[in-house]
Structure formats: C-alpha cells, structure tokens
Structure 1
C-alpha cells in the first residue's frame, strides 16, 4: 500500500476487498440499497467513547455534538454512550429528544435562535446556551408566557483562541456568544427569578491535532471559568469547556495524543477552587467521536482519458460530501484517504482524477491519486467520512438523488 493508505491502521482487507464491521464493501453497499452511500461502524463509535473515558478524568462528562452527524440511528446509539447531547437547531432538538435521552441532558447552542426554537427548548426543559443579551430578554418573556423557568447557560466568547485550530470560534469579534469582558455586567443584572441559571459554555475552536495548543486553551478556559464563577449570582452547576479534539485527514497528519491532554485535564480538575470546584465539567465533542467511523462509497460509472489524464467518473461527489471536495474550509485542497474498495492494492497502478457527476470542476472526489487500475462498476471509498458529511453538503444541487446512510 502507499504511504497515504498506511495511515489507515484499522483497515481490514479480505481477498483484496475492504471490510467494514465484518462485511465486504459490496455487501454493505447492497445492504444500503446502492450507491452513493455512507456507512457508519457502530462498534467503532462504542470503542471510541470507551477509550476516551478510560483516559479522561472520571468526573468529566462527555457530550456528543450531534451537528457532526445527526443521523437518528447514530444519535440514538451515541445517546446510550455519552452523558448528554448538544444540538444546534429545532430539528436536531427533535432528534435528540427522540433518542430517549433525558431532556435535562440536552443543551442548545446557536448564534441566531428563532423565538419558536427558544420556546420549544424552554418547553422541553433543556439547557439553552444564551448567545446575546437580546436572547436573554426573549427568554425572560418566554418564562412569563409559558410559566416555565428556562434553564440557561451563557456562551462566552473568550479573549483567547485555540491556536492551530482548524476552525477558530473565539478570540476576536465573533457571532458566537457574549464577549468575556461583558459578562460581569450581564451576570450582575441577571434576573434569577425568571431563569434558572445553570452555568457557562466556553468554546474556542475545533479540529486540533496539537496537544500543546489544547493544553494552553484548557488552562485559559479553566482560568476564565473560575473568574466567572466568582461573579455568578448563584452557584454554578455546569461548565462546558467545548471540545477541539481533531482527527487526521491528510497525508502527514498524525492522530492526536489524547493521553497527554487528558492527564493535564486531571490536574486542572483537581486544582479547582472556590465555587468552581463543585461544578460539573463537560467536554463537548462531535467530529472526534464519529469522524473516523464513517465511510463514503460511490461507484465508477465511466472511465475516460483527456489529454493524457485518466478520469474515473462516479455517481458521488460534493453534493454528498462537500468537505471531501475541499469546499468546506480548505484553503488549499488536499485529499481525504481514498481507495478502490474492491481493489485495495495492486503492484500495477495508475494516476487518476476521481470526479463526480456535477457540472462543475469543483466536484472532486480525489485528485492525482496513484491507485490500482479500476474499471467501470468498481467502488470508490472515502475514509474519515463520519462527520460533516450528508447534512453539511448541498444535496439539492443539480437535483441528483440524495445519499443513503446506514449504521451497521
């Protein structure tokens, strides 16, 4: 195998065909009803949570941010493994409630919540992460209208960022949360007769593979949380420190050394003082829990040459897997790990461009890949596809069929 494929340490191959969850690629695609499809490995999901719990402080709560993958079957499986679910919309809230988890273990974050969404969240008795002073005023009004005290935590925009983060969510002017320097005034004016104040949500970035960056962010997060707890009008029961744990996607990237991060978190948990000492600490993770459990399969429908370049045409592409196409945050496009699922390895290879059916040159499945010689009907698989796949993609673009999803 090439160096790129050597990264996929958990790959299982039988008779040169990729196996996932004990089944061949072809069998899985047939089970899903054909291509294109996402396949998610439930055993991997379970193992990822179990492994993370074994390393992290025992008192740390783990939440799953279902925006990473809101497929109802995935959410229901995750709900049985984690301590809570975090949602970002009304529809995600319905999926979370439908999972059977206690609504009190659900929280709702988002920078532009509609009044109808807030009303639904109040009625469900979930924790609402307040993102602005106007949102807080709306919750005061809903408290009187519904006769229910909303459970609220303040999402804080810290005055620091998660360095080397794939997506920076804090540290400057942001649409997310209330600026840290404004929180003393907000807390001083909080009407605890109208809302049930629960705690804080401090999130600084995502998709980070550098332990030192995460450790630095955790130091600053705990320091800020302690200051805020001292200003709170009532004891703080809950502090969500966000997530940020990344997974490797591209050649040269190494898996995050979570053990180092976990050991430092244990020290921070023990060092807490004052009212902060008794707060539950939550780590909210999405991509890290589900990203490596997913596989995107599409089928080669045509093969052609154009001025010396071989193209493998497929029935899948950016309309199903926008992030893999390079149009979901990449500045310079890099390939996700890609294989021919039914011809995993061969001494004879060819360089190919793998593209989809859309009428745009942006529809790339894989570029300049050296792969075994493929034929029409073969299956292409994109690894690391469990997060920000189907629902993060423009599936209505050009009106091609929607992608299938299957948890096995």
Structure 2
C-alpha cells in the first residue's frame, strides 16, 4: 500500500482538482492470484469471474495465472477475447439470448452453463444450425442446506439454475440431443462465504451429488464447477478466508475417494481482486447536522456502490495531506464518530456510518481498502453527471493511467 499512498500524495500536490480515483496494485494482484492457483490440488482449475472487475488491465494481469475466465454476457466474452484469442471461457447466467449463444459459439467458448430445459433445447437448435456440438454444464439449483453467506443463489427459489427435482429429465434430454455434449454440472449456490471448513464441506456435498448422477446415468463427464462464493471480510480486514486451510481440506477430500469427474473448477471473482484495489477520494467538506458529523468526499456511491449495495460501512484509512490553498483555517474533526458520504442528492449516498476517526481535515484523503471488486463495475456512473474517477494501475515497472 505504500506505493499507492506515495502516488496519492504526489498527485494531489500537483493537481488543480480534488483527488478522486481507483487505484490498483497489479503486483499484489498477480502475487495473490498466482499463489492461490499454484496451491490448488492437481485436479482443480482456477477461473476468474470477470463480473467482479472486467477492466482490461485487470484481465491482462491475471491472464498468465488463471486457467481461464468466467463470463455472464456476450459483452464479457468480447472483453476476454480482446485480451486473448484462445484462453478458455466459461459462459453462465440466466436468460441467454440467441445472439449470445451464437456469439459464444463463434468465439469458441469452452463451456456454456445451461440454466433451464428451454435454454438446453435452444442451445441444441443453434448448435445444429452452425454445424457444431456445444459442450455444456447443467447449472443446478440444489436444495441444500448450505453454509450461511451474504447472498444465496440456491437452496431456495431464485432465477438461477435447474431445480434439483428436474435434473434427471435434464440429463436424459441432454444425452438425447445431437447439438450438445454434457460435460458435467455447475453449482454456484452462495456468495461471500468466509468459513474455509464449510467451503470444503460444500465441495464434498457437490461431489456426492454428482457421483450419484454419474452412477445412475452412467455418465462420462469431465467437470464439476463448484462456482465461486469465497468471500471477503469487510468488517475485519485482518480476519480473511483461510485459504491454506481450505486447500488442505480440499486436498484431503479429493484424495479420499475416486472422483466422478476429471476436474473441479472454481470461478472466483471478489476473492481474487478485492484486496488489490482502492477507491480514493478527497474530503470536500466536514459538517454537522442534528448532532452527527459528516465528511463529504469527491465521489460517492455512484462510483463505489458496494457499501450501499451490501449495506455495510466500508473499511477505510485516512491519508493526511498538507495541501491547503485557502486563507481560512481547515475544518477539522477529532476523536469521534464520523459518517462518510458522497455528493449525490440522496441520503442513501453513504459509504461508511458512525466510524470512529481520530483526526480528519478538509483536504485530507479517504482511502477505501478492498475496493478491487464490485466497485466501479456495479456503480451507476452517470447519475448527476459528475466526472468519472481516474483509474490508475500501480506496479513496480511504473504507473499505468
């Protein structure tokens, strides 16, 4: 983080406008993802779910370290193909259009995750139209139970996957269709699980289910996609998902019995990129209303929507700066709770609520940590037509703007 802070201070000193930027530490990103990919058991493959952050600089940085990329639209397929003509792509998500399915065929997507019986039939029709056989995984909405997590996509009614009760019908249909080849099953049941032991148990549950179907239908399948779902602890940055414990448990699990598939896939997003990103904004004003203190920053939830979306106070640090060009004294906050808000005309534009801050002045910088995933990518950028933040990529070799 020291290089990030150094860049912020140097740039703010020379800038005529209030500082507002996303900064990404590409060296940290590469090191983090490389260590995760290398430590997985041999039967496992790590994919990056680009919905978390699909900036081309991020994709290029990750390209040498992941097996491939998981996408959820044809636009995301195009983003991946812009950085690599042949890297494997997994294509998931409900409600795929004909254009997307045919685009996936043209762009040589490795696996399509089929979300319904209707979609299965349409993939078959379009595959035969193009004279190809499309490799697919059936995405299944299992009944569970599952570990607790921030979001649940299975184990309850959602728009995701094929109901577990319909899987035998889906398998029989897939085996009968000429345009598709059933390669396995996809389960993405939850998001932001922080318990490594429970995540091993989740994979064990998936393997048990797939082994049952494999034996019942005498399937020759290659893949079990265990999804992503590994989380980030925004409440306590020092207590993160225990990856070594997860790998140790996963290795023991995979060594304990014959696998019903050749490969177990993981398509992580947030867990891979969050820690390498920072959302950084200058304090424009500090004020009190009805006994509560507010710091107003250059930016807000239109640029960094994650805190509002998840309704949490996002962790941040204060970077003191000495730049002050006005003839009056800087407004200062000392030793008390403070709420960080943006410039939008809504009381919902809150990034952190009632957080104790030892010292903060107008003109200082607030640096939100773990902002490398679901930050800019999910934000309503043009609400009120404020300027966009800069996007800065920091690495040992230099700065990419």
State the TM-score bracket (shorter-chain normalisation). Answer: 0.7 to 0.9
Which residue in 2 is equivalent to 1:97?
81
Distance 2:236 2:115 in 1: 37
Structure 1 residues 41 and 152 mapped into 2: Cα distance closer, same or farther (>3 Å)? same
Q: Does the 8 Å contact 1:164/1:213 carry over to 2? A: no
Distance 2:196 2:73 in 1: 31
Distance 1:27 1:147 in 2: 58
Structure 1 residues 138 and 27 mapped into 2: Cα distance closer, same or farther (>3 Å)? farther
Question: Residue 223 of structure 1: SS of its match in structure 2?
Answer: helix
Structure 1 residues 232 and 38 mapped into 2: Cα distance closer, same or farther (>3 Å)? farther
Q: Does the 8 Å contact 1:161/1:217 carry over to 2? A: no
Structure 1 residues 101 and 222 mapped into 2: Cα distance closer, same or farther (>3 Å)? farther
- Tell me whether 1:339 sits opposite 2:317 in the alignment: yes
Structure 2 counterpart of 1:303, from 264, 286, 297: 286
Aligned length: 381
Question: Residue 310 of structure 2: SS of its match in structure 1?
Answer: coil
Distance 2:57 2:18 in 1: 19
**Which 10-residue stretch deviates more, 178-187 or 307-316?**
307-316
Residues 198-242 of structure 1, C-alpha deviation per residue, up to 9 Å, x if partnerless?
Answer: 221112111111123212212211111212333456521222111
Query: What are the ranges of 5 or more consecutive residues in structure 1 without an aligned counterpart?
Result: 1-10, 13-18
Distance 2:62 2:99 in 1: 27
Structure 2 counterpart of 1:67, from 32, 51, 69: 51
- Tell me whether 1:159 sits opposite 2:143 in the alignment: yes
Structure 1 residues 138 and 372 mapped into 2: Cα distance closer, same or farther (>3 Å)? same
Which residue in 1 is equivalent to 2:378?
392
**Which 10-residue stretch deviates more, 166-175 or 86-95?**
166-175
Matches within 5 A, 1:317-336: 317-324=300-307, 327-330=308-311, 334-336=312-314
Question: Residue 373 of structure 2: SS of its match in structure 1?
Answer: coil
Q: Does the 8 Å contact 2:37/2:45 carry over to 1? A: no
- Tell me whether 1:265 sits opposite 2:250 in the alignment: yes
Structure 1 residues 362 and 27 mapped into 2: Cα distance closer, same or farther (>3 Å)? same
Which residue in 1 is equivalent to 2:158?
174
Which residue in 2 is equivalent to 1:357?
343
Which residue in 2 is equivalent to 1:7?
none
Question: Residue 104 of structure 2: SS of its match in structure 1?
Answer: helix
Matches within 5 A, 1:81-160: 81-100=65-84, 102-103=86-87, 105-126=88-109, 127-160=111-144
Q: TM-score, normalised by structure 1?
A: 0.86
Q: Does the 8 Å contact 1:161/1:204 carry over to 2? A: no
Question: Residue 328 of structure 1: SS of its match in structure 2?
Answer: helix
Structure 1 residues 92 and 357 mapped into 2: Cα distance closer, same or farther (>3 Å)? same
Q: CA RMSD in A?
A: 2.5
Distance 2:158 2:216 in 1: 23
Q: Does the 8 Å contact 1:343/1:372 carry over to 2? A: no
Distance 1:70 1:252 in 2: 24
Structure 1 residues 376 and 146 mapped into 2: Cα distance closer, same or farther (>3 Å)? same
Residues 97-156 of structure 1, C-alpha deviation per residue, up to 9 Å, x if partnerless?
Answer: 1121624x1011101111111110111121110001111111111112222222211111
Distance 1:81 1:206 in 2: 23
Which residue in 2 is equivalent to 1:4?
none
Question: Residue 373 of structure 1: SS of its match in structure 2?
Answer: strand
Distance 1:114 1:145 in 2: 15
- Tell me whether 1:208 sits opposite 2:186 in the alignment: no
Distance 2:72 2:355 in 1: 36
Q: Does the 8 Å contact 1:187/1:231 carry over to 2? A: no
Which residue in 2 is equivalent to 1:236?
221
Question: Residue 101 of structure 2: SS of its match in structure 1?
Answer: helix
Q: TM-score, normalised by structure 2?
A: 0.88
Question: Residue 204 of structure 2: SS of its match in structure 1?
Answer: helix
